[in-house]
Structure 1
Amino acid sequence: MSDLNAAFEASVAQSKNLSERPDNPTLLKIYALYKQATVGDNSEKKPSFSDVVGRAKWDAWEKLKGTDGDTARQQYIDLIASLS
């Protein structure tokens, strides 16, 4: 496992133990960076207008389309570090 992957996994674990719950825009960024880092570009069907939360998550992930996995991992690590 590379150093980046190890640091990413450590940040994922750390994200579950943050002292304060981040605001919704930050939570969406965390979600989107995690999905981009672990899955890659969003290829899921866009949720309906009635699924407000699902649509917000989908939109956040979609904005990262084309972002390299390692770049998304590093951004995730940096974001979690800034919240700790």
Structure 2
Amino acid sequence: MGLKEEFEEHAEKVNTLTELPSNEDLLILYGLYKQAKFGPVDTSRPGMFSMKERAKWDAWKAVEGKSSEEAMNDYITKVKQLLEVAASKAST
């Protein structure tokens, strides 16, 4: 399986988590996903009254220097980590 296919598979797997990840983890995933799919952020930063959109923009901007492949690998790693945590919680 190629990197892109594995990335897409993990993008679907993240939706199977029974517990919503923390906001921090969600923002990390968001930034990595956007960087992997679309490259560097290409919009202006949302205003201060759009706090959610601004946080998402900041998360994407934070990974701006990563290549698409790096972002895909980091995304896959993060999803695996979240799945492992969920599995360990389920077994206790």
TM-score (norm: length of structure 2): 0.87
SS at 1:35 equivalent:
helix
1:25 matched to which residue of 2? 24
More helix, by proportion = 2
User: Quick one: distance in 1 between partners of 2:24 and 2:82?
Assistant: 13
Matched residue pairs, number?
A: 83
User: Does the alignment pair 1:13 with 2:6?
Assistant: no
User: Does the alignment pair 1:67 with 2:60?
Assistant: no
* Runs of at least 5 residues in structure 2 that lack an aligned partner in the other structure: 84-92
How many angstroms does 1:51 deviate by?
0.2
* Runs of at least 5 residues in structure 1 that lack an aligned partner in the other structure: none
1:77 matched to which residue of 2? 76
2:89 matched to which residue of 1? none
Query: What letter is aligned with 2:38?
Result: V
Query: What letter is aligned with 1:44?
Result: T
Query: What letter is aligned with 1:62?
Result: K
Runs of 4+ in 1 over 3 A off after TM superposition: none
Percent of matched pairs sharing the same residue: 35
Query: What letter is aligned with 1:64?
Result: V
Between structure 1 and structure 2, the one with the greater Rg is 2
How many angstroms does 1:43 deviate by?
1.1
2:42 matched to which residue of 1? 43
